[in-house]
Amino acid sequence: MINRWLFIPLSIISLPNYGQISIKSHYLKTYHCHQNTGCNAYGDDIKQDLFIRYNDQTLFWTKSIYEDWKRSEIRKVSDNYIISLEDELYSFVDLKRGTIYYIDFFKDAYHTWGFGPDTVQVKNNVLMMMKLLKDHRTQKDVMQFLIDQIE
């Protein structure tokens, strides 16, 4: 029989995993655009894992089991996507395709990134995300663009 004083701490420790949904996807190339220097693709067309976990408040994702998990606060969830925010920068998850896009701002320049199985679509979306930002559109406008691509 489990001592009830032992059971309570074990229950509390396991709470963060309660209600969490996990998605395993993959990508062949990483697509990245820099506001000032252009766009690049990284990778050798080798299938790499993409891990996504979320609950009702937090999105976690990593593109390698050897890297730290990126964590952001969920702002909106639908059947098709998640929009999250970390340090005033947005991330977007296409739940049906297992694809992640995010915006970064480093050294006075925007960066757009994309990871997912459909390399042509990811590349085109990352390019358009940067075009919108260069055209002085907001990050929210970029998120709406991504929503429009899947609905």
**Residue 16, exposed/middle/buried by CB under 10 A (0-12, 13-18, 19+)?**
exposed
Distant-in-sequence contacts of 37-42, Cβ < 8 A, 24+ apart: 39/126, 39/127, 39/130, 41/123
Write the pLDDT tens digit of every residue in 13-56.
Answer: 334 455 789 999 999 999 999 999 999 999 877 899 999 999 98
Residue 2 — very low, low, confident or very high, per pLDDT cuts 50/70/90?
very low
In order of 94, 122, 128, the CA distances from 46 in angstroms are: 21, 16, 25
Asked whether the predicted pLDDT for residue 8 surpasses 50, the reply is no
125: nearest Cα among 104, 94, 85: 94
- Retrieve residue 139's tokens: 């990050």
Question: Cβ distance 110 to 102 under 8 Å?
Answer: no
In sequence order, what DSSP letters do the residues of 10-40 get, joined into one string? HHHHHGGGTT-EEEEEEES-EEEEETTTEEE
E-state strands within the chain:
21-27, 30-34, 38-42, 48-54, 58-62, 70-77, 81-86, 89-94, 99-106, 109-115
27: nearest Cα among 125, 111, 122, 124: 122
pTM confidence score = 0.83
Please give the radius of gyration of the chain, using alpha carbons only, rounded to the nearest integer: 17
Write the pLDDT tens digit of every residue in 95-147.
Answer: 999 999 999 998 889 999 999 999 999 999 999 999 999 999 999 999 999 99
